[in-house]
Amino acid sequence: MVNKKPSMGRQKIKIEKISKKSHLQVTFSKRRAGLFKKASELSTLCGVDIAMIVFSPAQKAFSFGHPNVDSIMDRFLTGNPPPSSSGMHQLIETQRNANVCEHNMQLTQILNQLEAEKNMEKYLTKRGKALEANVFGKLPLKNLSCMNLNN
C-alpha cells in the first residue's frame, strides 16, 4: 500500500461486441453469473418459473431453470396458448405425440445437472464469503436445478 492508484473503478462501456478475446471471456463469465443470479432472484421474489440457455463464445451450453429447464420448455411448447391462437390446438396435439423430445430433453438436462451441482458448490464457495442476505444463501439447491458454472 505504497500510494497505490486506487483503481479507476468501473468505467462506462459501449454495448457492442468486445474485440479483445481475453476481456470478452472475463466479461462473459461475470455477466453470465450476474444474469443467472438475477433470474434466480426474479424466480424467488415473484414465485415464477424461468428457463434460460446461454451458449458461451466456445459454444458450450449453460442453462438455468426453475424448477428446471425442460419443464419450462415443455410448457412453452405445449401449454402456452400463443397470443392469437386459433388453429393451434391441432398442432398442440401433434406436439404431444413428439414427447420423445421431452424425454431426451430430460436426459440432456440430467447429465448437465450432474456437473452443474458440483459447480454450484464451487460457485457458492467462490462468491459465498460475502453473501449475507444474498439470494443463493436463501435458495434451496433444488431451485437452481441446472446451473453450469465452469468455464
Per CB under 8 A, residues contacting a copy of itself are 12-18, 24, 27-28, 31-32, 34-35, 38-39, 41-42, 44-57, 61, 63, 69, 72-73, 75-77, 80, 82-85, 88, 91-92, 94-95, 97-98, 100-101, 104-105, 107-108, 111-112, 114-115, 133-135, 138-139
Q: Which entry of a copy of itself, DNA, none binds 9, CB below 5 to 8 A by partner kind?
A: DNA
Number of residues binding to DNA, judged by CB under 7 A: 32
C-alpha 25/C-alpha 57 separation (Å) is: 8
Q: What share of the chain is helix, strand, coil (3-state, %, to 5)?
A: 55, 10, 35
H helices of the chain, in order, are 21-46, 69-74, 88-97, 100-128, 135-138
Cell numbers for 18, please give them.
Answer: 468486445
Candidate list 75, 103, 122, 138; residue touching DNA; CB under 7 A: 122
Nearest residue to 138 (alpha-carbon basis) of 51, 44, 74: 44
Q: Which residues bind DNA (CB under 7 A)?
A: 4-13, 22-23, 25-27, 29-31, 33-35, 37-38, 41, 122, 125-127, 129-130, 133, 150
